[in-house]
Chain A
Amino acid sequence: MNYEGLDAQTFNNMFIERLDTVDGLQKTAAAGAAFVRSKIREIGFARRIMPPESVTRADCQRSTDHDTLVKVVDIEHDSKAMAVNFASEADERYIQGKRYAIPFFKIESEKFGKNEAELLAYDYPVTKVIEENSVKDIQRVEDEKWIEYSEAAVSITGKRLVSGATAVDRKELTSLFKMIDFDELDVGCILMNTVDYDDWMIQPATEIGSPLASEITTDGYKYKSILNRKLVVTNKHSIILPGEVWAYAPPAYLGNFFILNDMKFWIKKEADLVLWKSWEYIAEGIGNIKALAKLELNVPSPIPVGGTI
């Protein structure tokens, strides 16, 4: 379905007309699902840290106690070698693998409803409503859960570095990295919010060199990495508080993110009322709790409310 070349009002009108037939409803739902899928991949920061993998029912396990699904994932078993004399032999190991269970749960948007006539009053396409409500809500919950699991991990490992520094810089970041490096892992990704990203861009030339400082002043920091680590910046300040910077090992050493089947999009027209919602079943988790660390900076209140700087 091609949305290009149509103005918003024409599209909204066509959208409503299609909902009057069963075939039209199905096509619209399918088109909505395709739209939702393509957009949500770009938005959630959890998906940029841990790219999701599609699974089907056949890939999952059931519980004996209830009607939910989990996916059980193996943790790589440890092994070692040892130096021994010619006539000696190394220790033996009866392998006892470890696994962890990642429960699936549903994330669902609100059920949106709108009178068809009122829908025509919009100057933007209905797909925008879907994008700005359903998609945003769903991706936000994914991110909230990701940070909840991250907090649970660092509360066990103690990989939480509290710094008196008021802005993020290379020294603070390398201190953060060392907490992961120490466990023979590597940092693959840095997650920070836009407030700290702003602070990153005001580092003086004496610190980052004149060419880069000049470049940032003109074009901003236009690189997708810092210190050769992938940079993920989010504006979700209620999830990632200003001053909080996370470092994660690459996905293979970190955890899993599964999506069961595809995102579902449901739409219905009841008389002149159009209803729609979307949902997905996901399972995300951190299997290696040593593969992440958190930096907490002493950032002053970042919200400009006026006054004297």
Chain B
Amino acid sequence: MTVTINDARTVPVQEDLTTDDLRLQVLRGLETMFRADKPLAPATELLTGEWGVLNSDGQVERPGATPVANTYPVFCGTERYDVKATGAVTLILGSHVVLKTNQFDETADYEVGDALTVKDYSAGEAHVTKASSGEPVLGQVLEVGDGWLVFETRRPGDLA
């Protein structure tokens, strides 16, 4: 993987750098959550704020169209130098945390209490979206903002 110049953050700057990075903010559970590095499956890139599936080889791969329970938020993604060095992303494993993110399926309408799951909905990245009947619930909406969601994670196991 080539380390490229981040054009938006190189003069002339094309991004408002004074605003919060909302890809993934942990609002609750920062001190107690379990973070663990898991190796990436070959040719896999997952940015911070995306979600990854832990496959049978113990490697992290991109979620597919069918959501599965063992899917976890990426706390440190492949945009970072340390991740490039280790070849492993840092996941938030099975912890009850409250997350704020602007990485979600924006084509859906959300209300507080909606069940969330993670699957490939053809957006290029794998984020939370509304769970359909029978799909594993990975989160539940707590707050809906303009371009962001706050949700709590749920232990995989419940089905929508």
Residues of A in contact with B (beta carbons under 8 Å apart): 63-65, 70, 75-76, 78, 91-94, 96, 98-103, 148-149, 152-153, 156-157, 283-290
B28 touches A287 (CB 8 A): no
A78 touches B11 (CB 8 A): no
Q: Which residues of B contact A96 (CB under 8 A)?
A: 21
| Cβ 8 A contact of B11, one of A64, A93, A156, A286 | A286
B107 at the interface (CB under 8 A from A): no
B4 smallest CB distance to A (angstroms): 8
Question: Measured between alpha carbons, how far is A161 from B30 in the docked complex, in Å?
Answer: 44
Flag the segment in B12-20, B60-68, B128-136 that touches A: B12-20
A100 smallest CB distance to B (angstroms): 5
Query: What are 30 residue pairs bridging A and B, where the CB atoms are less than 8 Å apart in the complex?
Result: A63-B5, A75-B17, A75-B18, A78-B18, A78-B19, A91-B28, A92-B27, A92-B28, A92-B29, A92-B30, A92-B31, A94-B25, A94-B30, A98-B21, A99-B9, A100-B9, A103-B11, A148-B12, A149-B11, A152-B13, A156-B14, A156-B15, A156-B16, A283-B11, A284-B11, A285-B11, A286-B12, A286-B13, A287-B17, A289-B17
A121 smallest CB distance to B (angstroms): 45
* Number of interface residues, chain B, beta carbon within 8 A: 23
| Cβ 8 A contact of B13, one of A93, A94, A285 | A285
B9 touches A101 (CB 8 A): yes
Q: Closest 3 interchain pairs by CB?
A: A285-B11, A152-B12, A92-B30
| Cβ 8 A contact of A100, one of B11, B19, B28 | B11
B10 touches A70 (CB 8 A): yes
Question: Measured between alpha carbons, how far is A283 from B10 in the docked complex, in Å?
Answer: 11
Q: Interface residues of B: mostly helix, strand, loop or mixed? A: loop
Q: Which residues of A contact B5 (CB under 8 A)?
A: 63, 65, 101
Known interface pairs A92-B26, A92-B27; A152-B14 also in contact (CB < 8 Å): yes
Q: Which residues of A contact B108 (CB under 8 A)?
A: none
Known interface pairs A101-B9, A101-B11; A288-B28 also in contact (CB < 8 Å): no
Q: Which residues of B contact A94 (CB under 8 A)?
A: 25-26, 30
Q: Which residues of A contact B28 (CB under 8 A)?
A: 91-92
Question: Measured between alpha carbons, how far is A65 from B28 in the docked complex, in Å?
Answer: 40
Closest to A184 in B: B18
B60 smallest CB distance to A (angstroms): 20
A100 touches B16 (CB 8 A): no
Question: Measured between alpha carbons, how far is A101 from B4 in the docked complex, in Å?
Answer: 13
Closest to B31 in A: A92
Known interface pairs A100-B13, A103-B10, A153-B12; A93-B18 also in contact (CB < 8 Å): no
Closest to B97 in A: A92
B12 touches A290 (CB 8 A): no
Question: Measured between alpha carbons, how far is A91 from B14 in the docked complex, in Å?
Answer: 29
Q: Which residues of A contact B25 (CB under 8 A)?
A: 93-94
Q: Which residues of A contact B16 (CB under 8 A)?
A: 156-157, 289-290
